[in-house]
Amino acid sequence: MLDYSLNGHLDGLADTDDLGDMHVATAIDTPMNPHAFDLSDAEKIERISDHFAEIMNILGLDLRDDSLRGTPRRVAKMYVNEVFRGLNPENKPTITTFENKYRYRRLVIERNIPLQSTCEHHFQPIFGVAHVAYIPNGRVVGLSKLNRIVDFYGRRPQVQERLTVQIAEELRRTLKTEDVAVYIDARHMCVQARGIEHHGASTITAEYSGKFLNENTRQEFLMAINSKMPD
């Protein structure tokens, strides 16, 4: 029987309580334990449902109430199948690239990609947009695949800085080019709904590599993502 308890994982908690407020991430890769995929999705839903019911009980909620009775399972299904589906590598989109037969050598930009993620420090939602760009190096990719890459890495507990780098790394790996840019502008409910409760604040992160380290190329990208669509 596998031990999925928190025993042995909470040592030094007093020293890490403030990490979330400092927005500290410990690795570029999403931290995963060695048993992350020992359970099937169905088994995870059952286990999470049981644990969430216990959380609700501790909070004093009456699970006999018709409105609350199904909540633990709804939350469990939402976590596994929707909000955190990016944790499962089986859900990673298959990305096919194509020969750049038209010899296009300028920027390809997909802007205003809807972004939904979850703050790993408080498990509060993150909402925003991502803008991604690349310069073809012999291969091009269907535009919707750029959206799917953003969505996959967003659908897991995240720190925005890590999310930005993960998307850029996947683009470089998939497109086999260093000429990649990622720019994210997002609102964090851990800032807006708790703590300081500042509702107008957003966080911007960016990752540039290859030709995007050149000031002119980077400015071309930034001007494009900030330009207005024609009426």
Which residues are designated catalytic?
119-122, 160, 188, 190
CA distances to 145, 157, 184 from 152, in Å:
10, 11, 15
In degrees and rounded to multiples of 5, residue 171 shows phi and psi of -65, -45
Q: Which helix (H) or strand (E) holds 70?
A: none
In degrees and rounded to multiples of 5, residue 70 shows phi and psi of -90, 0
67 CB contacts (<8 Å, ≥6 apart)? none
Q: Which helix (H) or strand (E) holds 206?
A: strand 203-208
* Cβ-contact 150, 130 below 8 angstroms: yes
